[in-house]
Structure 1
Amino acid sequence: MIELLYRLRFGLLGLLLLAAVLLWPGVQRAVQVDNSLEAWFLQNDPALRAYQDFQQRFGNDEVIIVATHDARGLLTSDYFQRFQELSRALESLPAVAAVIGPGNATVPTRAGLLGSGSRPLLPAPPAQVRRTLQQHPLLQEQLFSPDFRTARFVVVLRRLPDFDARRGEILAAVESTVHRHLPPGQTYLGGVGVIFAGLNALSQHDFGLFLGLGYLLMFTVLALLYRNAWLLLYVLGIVGLATYLTLGAYGALGYRLNLMTVLLPVVLILLGIMDAMHVINERNLVAEHGPGLSDRETALLALQRTFSPCLATMLTTVAGFLALVTSPMAILRNFGLFAALGIALCLVLTFVLGAIILPLTRPAPRATRAASLGLARFYSSILTHKGRFTALSAALVLLAAAGLFWLKSDTYTLGYFPQGHRVVQDHQRLEATWGPYLPLELLVEPRPGHQLHDAALVQATAAFADSARRLPGVGRVFGFHSLYEAGLAAQFPGRGRAALGSQSLLRAVDQQLATDYPQLAGQFIHRGSGTGRITVSGRMLTARQLTAKTDTLLGLARRTLGSVATVRPAGYQPLYARIVEYVTTSQTESLLLSILTVSALVWLYVRSLRLALLTVLPNLFPVLVLLGLMGWLGIRLDTATASIAAIVLGLCVDDTVHYIHHYRQARRSGQPPHAARLGTITHVGPTIVLTSVVLFLGYAVMGLGALKTVQLFGLLTAVSVAAALFGEIVIFPLVLERFDREPAAKADRP
């Protein structure tokens, strides 16, 4: 087969290059970032459909909160002029649907029994504005802090088809507009969109920079190890072309990179380097032990000897990643599917490029020989101090297992930023000057026989809002009931709350809301469905805390509103909590499925149940160390760390299959267990050690990143690589020595 591959090598390379040309438009599309909800969720997901329904009723719930603060006070003619100009400038932006703030606020006028119109709050003398706002406390609550030193603008963004792709551009336009009219040092921007746009920008920068530095370091180490430009080209060609073709297919099918699939190059470089180094290592050994063979013969013989284990590692690793296809999230399904495709391409390219490049190179056995001699001495040390190494291994396993009890799945998005980042600083100043501001939306649907303006429903909603404000971490609570109360307070100053019990007055106010409060009425009342909206402003929470807070609010709503309406969470924040739940649950379940699938495939490959079972411990050891270390250090299992275990499992399986393949061949050739173990560790061990060094250094560089997701991914992956190395060269030989002794070998060889 390898001879046939050698004869067809240029034709196969031509097909690959033709595919590369045809997939160029797909690559261009793939490298564009798309973190839209449609990229994360399946189209029939109930949570996504509920969110889309909420947006159809009330528009885009992603708003930008703009707060400006002046310790001297904001009720001045200069600020009033700035507020008006800012409101007009923001409203002129194509992506802005509405602006709710002091610059364009209106106050209902009194004409007859109920207000029949409205007038602008500004311009007016500062003293008059103060009196007007004191007469309309609910309006003041939306526009100014109680001391009038902070003013707030809510910028409501349009629900555009390409909104997620343009979020960064839209936020930049809003920010530049704000800073043209208000002092930058006294003005802060916040909101879910601001946080995630900052996170996306920083993650793309850090992943691009430090992953690039990591790659550069990896290939520099490879160049120093082998001192051969052709071998470096071989490894680069495998990784680069596999990544290119995978991204091309990914983009051709209409997908774009997101926070998960940006890890595809990480997976491919890890497994591509490993397969390439196994081939290079085998070629060096063939040349050293087979003098007289030509460069072409040593290259093809190395490819032939490594084809079977490389094929097996590809199948097992692909099966592990395909386990993600069972996830309920589109983003994880696509990650698993295209990681599997890329891994298969790495195998193809390892042998196609190997047949082209390796015959052109001279063997470079120096690094392989040095590693083999070192491993032989190390193996002798293990046998000499077997009890110590066994005790050390058991202690590490127990210590890591104990850490599992402290492992938690949660995420705090703001915690990913460096403390000095502008997003964090603006968030902290917003909370200090305005108070809790992040919106948690609730949808109120009247029960049959009730309407939003029913006295019983409005009073119950007001009671719910009063109770919600007393919860820790909750700030302002504003909803459709606030509009009815404000309308009544305009007609009966100081008695708006008491008038909520009058059905006739509520009916009259209901007819005037669109006129009296044109900005707010459409934001909180959907006439078509007869539903209302309540916005509970709170602090930035972790996903778990957000779920608990939502449950508390829903329990409170059932007690106060249960007889007249149903209340359910809406908007983006509950959906974000669902994302975290999906990701961590899916990764845990898929990891278990991967372990079972990989173990079964290893069993089929080695055709020995005992050997297959013996591979479980060294494969699970680095995963156990990873999760245990996260537990001890308080690192939560979240969207940034949940994928590392699956990647590490692929790394371990690759080394284990090569190890067990050579060990089985040695035992079948008649070698006793001790000689087979020594021969295996000196034959396969150099590749395991050298790839571990290369990968450890490459991923450790990512620990220098500013974004904590990049830091954690790099450092945890580097630690896992080190643990995988320990598992392969210490634990696995000890396990084999314990369960495949000399007498057992004579009676029943595997």
Structure 2
Amino acid sequence: MKNKRVVAYAEWIIRWRWLVIFLSLVSVAAMITGFSKMDFKSDYRIFFSKDNPQLLAFEDMQDTYSKSDNVLFVITPKNGDVFTPDTLETLQWLTEEAWQTPLSTRVDSITNFQYTYADGDELIVEDLVQQPSSLSKQDLQRIGDIAISEPLLVNRLIAEDKGTTAVNVTVEVPDDPQTAEEKQAVMVIANFARELAQKVEQRNPNLEVRLTGMVMMNVSFPEATIKDLSTLLPIMAFIVVPVFMWFMVRSTSGVITSVLLNLFSILGAWGLFFYLGGYLSGPAMSTPIVILTMGVADAVHILVTFLQQMRRGDSKQQAMVESLRLNMQPIFLTSITTIIGFLSMNASDVPPLHDFGNIVAIGVGLAFIYSVTFLPALLMVMPVKVRSKEPKAYHWMDNLGDWVIAKRKVLLPSFALLSVGVIAFIPNNELNDEFVKYFSKEVPFRADTDYTSEHLTGIYNVFVSVKTGKANGISEPEYLKAVDDFSQVAETWSEVRHVETITDIMKRLNKNMHADDPEWYRLPERKDLAAQYLLLYEMSLPQGLDLTNQINLDKSSVRVGLTLYNLSSNELLVLEDRIYDWFNNNAPQYELDVASSNMMFAHIGERNIKSSLSGTLIALVLISLILMFALRSFKLGMLSLIPNLLPAALAFGLWGMLVSNVGMGLSVVVGMTLGIVVDDTVHFLSKYLRARREKNLSPQDAVRYAFQTVGMALTVTTIVLVAGFYIMTLSTFTMNSEMGMMTAMTIAIALIVDFLLLPPLLIKLEEKQHEKATTDSELAESTAS
């Protein structure tokens, strides 16, 4: 933008300041109405695009068999024994009450487990526990022994030490909720479960009840982020930003206008996002903190220059005109590059990260608009007191500039060697997620899940659908043997805690039909016998406890369920390969599907890295072209790639050195921070070029000028940005906390790079050219004389 146009624009803003303030308020009010369309999705499926292959495989399996979404009530008697009359009676009561859970389709517990035995020639199928209050010690011992010897129960619904048990409630949550009632289904189910858990503890004080399962995980996403929003945002908005702003600019009016500007940007971004049909999710809920930190940057640059000019004797109007003249181009450029960086998140394979990037991009755009409209207009009508002397911190920049210039020949090779050493640790980073660890240990779901994993069973699972390709094919002896062989092998794997397989039922039925002779605890040898046993058993099962969770309708396939210990994404992928390898080597004639929600999360990390990389490359190209055009220098545009890319590389090198595990949230940090770290480079280069082109200063003096005019503003914005993103590390949602930590680290490194590496590079690049130009000028003057 040409200076004359900017000056004319600034004068117009000042002249019509009351109108600008009024229109700003009207625009915010209009955007806020978008909150009427606010919606929140609490389904883990939102993390996957509709064409995600693992999601499609999982949904196909859910359609073939009964749903697997659940609430797991984990019951621990304080006396350490499940098999007492009081505890069993309460379990029986809970089992019956759990059927009232909204959208429940099945309830499984040790009390309603369908125990089979032979009575003469008759097969008896009945609840394992009946009338618990009348059971003798011998009966209780017998029932307990049956439970811990039953493969379908032990390490799933009863612990081997008989100290912990569970009631599993399977629910059918709508895949694509339309009505408000359907959208609230998960929350309604979770609230019902919590109330029921309280009733159990009130009914029997000897029992401790914990809740886990997919429903509780779903509801924990919004609950954790709402908690973060209600605690972290106020800390950032009303403590961190105002304190740092006041400490650096020492202007109450400046702090107030900055806070209002950021509030407008946050409300406007969310309002517009809802207007466009967006919905809130875990990552999206953290955007106010990001917008707040990003919005401060524009305000700081305008305020610092504005106050500097007033200290030099300018009036408020003159100071604001000069501030906008000097800062309009750089803050416009930094806003555009930041927006591009966040929009690059749309290349991610995780839809909530699209929303995160889009909301922040809208917020950054609004922050720029309000920074050059509302901010100067409001400052013109507010009293602004300026100290006659600049804060001492400003003089630090002069000293730092002199030191960097003096030490430039040491800084350049030292920084290069240090960078190579740190970047060498990048290969240490390993993409590895554990979805339970998306939540900190203070989140009830995480704490209850960790307890369940330690004392009873896991909530990680993998479902294996083995297809015969023909109706009633599951009764074939060859097929049953293949499924049973796989199940027995899977039980030996260190990752597997429990295997649910139809072959355990078939072997038990075969034993029952041979007078409960243990010698006959094996698979039926003929297809017709297997089919008859299965039919007889199914006809004896009560409603709601059928076998549709293991067998499809035409009996052409069965689903084997593997319950796992807590595994990382890499370990899950290794397990998936092992399952396919086993069937390829031992039963290649059967078609196989392997799916689960855990498997979806395991694959998404790798897919997200690849997709995010393409977005980052596009953003890098666009930002580089914009800088070359804006700076009117191909050479400086190419040079800017070093301070723009190096911070993220160094941050990932440090992460590889100190942490090494890279989760889903970190996969988009490079693209996201690229737009942010460019800000420092643009502001430093713009002041450097102004000194070179307008003031005709040498490279060394131009560097000093850049430090004097923009050094403190860059320091303030970096401190606020680092503080803002560091606040995110306090989030109970790990994806947000890790993203905040890495982003804060990258931004801090970016300032160090721009202060210690960029100036030596600029001097090295332009020193000879300046010396040649000076010599030519002197020769021309000598010749002329």
Q: Same fold (TM over 0.5)?
A: yes
Describe the SS at the equivalent of 2:475.
Answer: coil
Which 10-residue stretch deviates more, 430-439 or 344-353? 430-439
CA contact (8 A) 2:460 2:598 kept: no
Aligned to 1:322: 343
Aligned to 1:378: 400
Q: What count of residue pairs does the alignment treat as equivalent?
A: 745
CA contact (8 A) 1:619 1:652 kept: yes
Aligned to 1:546: 572
Describe the SS at the equivalent of 1:405.
Answer: helix
CA contact (8 A) 2:471 2:555 kept: no
**Does 2:55 correspond to 1:48?**
yes
Aligned to 1:98: 106
Aligned to 2:64: 57
In structure 2, relative to structure 1, the CA distance for the partners of 1:15 and 1:323 (3 Å cut) is same
Aligned mates of 1:547, 1:94 — CA distance in 2: 34
Aligned mates of 2:166, 2:15 — CA distance in 1: 72
Q: What's the Cα RMSD here? A: 3.2
- Compute the displacement of 1:622 (Å): 2.0
- Compute the displacement of 1:465 (Å): 0.1
In structure 2, relative to structure 1, the CA distance for the partners of 1:294 and 1:383 (3 Å cut) is closer
Q: 2:765 aligns with which of 715, 739, 748?
A: 739
Q: Deviations over 1:292-331 (max 9, x none)?
A: x431232133223322222222222222222222333322
CA contact (8 A) 1:321 1:646 kept: yes
Q: Counterparts in 2 of 1:164-183, with a 5 A limit? A: 165-181=184-200, 183=205
Aligned to 1:660: 685
Aligned to 1:2: 10
Describe the SS at the equivalent of 1:558.
Answer: helix
Describe the SS at the equivalent of 1:524.
Answer: coil
Describe the SS at the equivalent of 2:373.
Answer: helix
Aligned mates of 1:648, 1:366 — CA distance in 2: 37
In structure 2, relative to structure 1, the CA distance for the partners of 1:370 and 1:590 (3 Å cut) is farther
Q: Counterparts in 2 of 1:284-295, with a 5 A limit? A: 284-289=307-312, 291=313, 293-295=314-316
Q: 1:595 aligns with which of 617, 620, 627?
A: 620
In structure 2, relative to structure 1, the CA distance for the partners of 1:497 and 1:367 (3 Å cut) is farther
Q: 1:611 aligns with which of 632, 636, 644?
A: 636
State the TM-score, normalized to the length of structure 1: 0.90
Q: Counterparts in 2 of 1:180-579, with a 5 A limit? A: 180-181=199-200, 183=205, 186-195=208-217, 197-198=219-220, 201-206=223-228, 208-215=230-237, 216-289=239-312, 291=313, 293-360=314-381, 361-362=383-384, 364=386, 370-415=392-437, 422-436=444-458, 438-448=460-470, 451-492=473-514, 493=516, 494-495=518-519, 497-518=521-542, 519-527=545-553, 530-563=556-589, 565-579=590-604
CA contact (8 A) 1:192 1:438 kept: no
Equivalent residue letter for 2:578: T
CA contact (8 A) 1:410 1:638 kept: yes
Describe the SS at the equivalent of 1:102.
Answer: coil
Aligned mates of 1:208, 1:166 — CA distance in 2: 24
**Does 2:46 correspond to 1:39?**
yes
State the TM-score, normalized to the length of structure 2: 0.86
Q: Deviations over 1:378-431 (max 9, x none)?
A: 111122223443344224312320221211221224445555765455444433
In structure 2, relative to structure 1, the CA distance for the partners of 1:196 and 1:92 (3 Å cut) is closer
Gap regions ≥5 residues in structure 2: 1-8, 777-785
CA contact (8 A) 1:270 1:651 kept: no
Q: Counterparts in 2 of 1:686-701, with a 5 A limit? A: 686-701=712-727
CA contact (8 A) 2:224 2:733 kept: yes
**Does 2:73 correspond to 1:66?**
yes
CA contact (8 A) 2:466 2:557 kept: yes
CA contact (8 A) 1:441 1:571 kept: yes
CA contact (8 A) 1:267 1:647 kept: no
In structure 2, relative to structure 1, the CA distance for the partners of 1:7 and 1:568 (3 Å cut) is farther
Aligned mates of 2:552, 2:771 — CA distance in 1: 78
Describe the SS at the equivalent of 1:739.
Answer: helix
Aligned to 1:624: 649
> Once the two structures are aligned, what percentage of the paired residues are identical?
18
Aligned mates of 1:615, 1:489 — CA distance in 2: 76
Describe the SS at the equivalent of 1:374.
Answer: helix
CA contact (8 A) 2:405 2:759 kept: no
Which 10-residue stretch deviates more, 511-520 or 460-469? 511-520
Aligned mates of 2:326, 2:353 — CA distance in 1: 35
Q: Deviations over 1:274-300 (max 9, x none)?
A: 1111111222343345x4x43123213
In structure 2, relative to structure 1, the CA distance for the partners of 1:436 and 1:237 (3 Å cut) is closer
In structure 2, relative to structure 1, the CA distance for the partners of 1:260 and 1:704 (3 Å cut) is closer
Describe the SS at the equivalent of 2:664.
Answer: coil
Equivalent residue letter for 1:89: E
Aligned mates of 2:50, 2:16 — CA distance in 1: 44
Aligned mates of 2:708, 2:447 — CA distance in 1: 55
Aligned mates of 1:9, 1:446 — CA distance in 2: 76
Describe the SS at the equivalent of 1:522.
Answer: coil
- Compute the displacement of 1:539 (Å): 0.4
Gap regions ≥5 residues in structure 1: none
- Compute the displacement of 1:10 (Å): 4.8
**Does 2:169 correspond to 1:155?**
yes
CA contact (8 A) 2:157 2:165 kept: yes
Which 10-residue stretch deviates more, 405-414 or 369-378? 369-378
Describe the SS at the equivalent of 1:657.
Answer: helix
Describe the SS at the equivalent of 2:749.
Answer: helix
**Does 2:137 correspond to 1:137?**
no
Equivalent residue letter for 1:65: L
Describe the SS at the equivalent of 1:534.
Answer: strand
In structure 2, relative to structure 1, the CA distance for the partners of 1:523 and 1:326 (3 Å cut) is same
Aligned mates of 1:357, 1:517 — CA distance in 2: 74
- Compute the displacement of 1:680 (Å): 1.7
CA contact (8 A) 1:488 1:499 kept: yes
Which 10-residue stretch deviates more, 189-198 or 617-626? 189-198
- Compute the displacement of 1:623 (Å): 1.1
- Compute the displacement of 1:698 (Å): 4.2
- Compute the displacement of 1:466 (Å): 0.3
Aligned mates of 2:72, 2:402 — CA distance in 1: 66
Equivalent residue letter for 1:332: L
Aligned mates of 2:17, 2:474 — CA distance in 1: 73
CA contact (8 A) 1:296 1:358 kept: no
Aligned mates of 2:407, 2:443 — CA distance in 1: 51
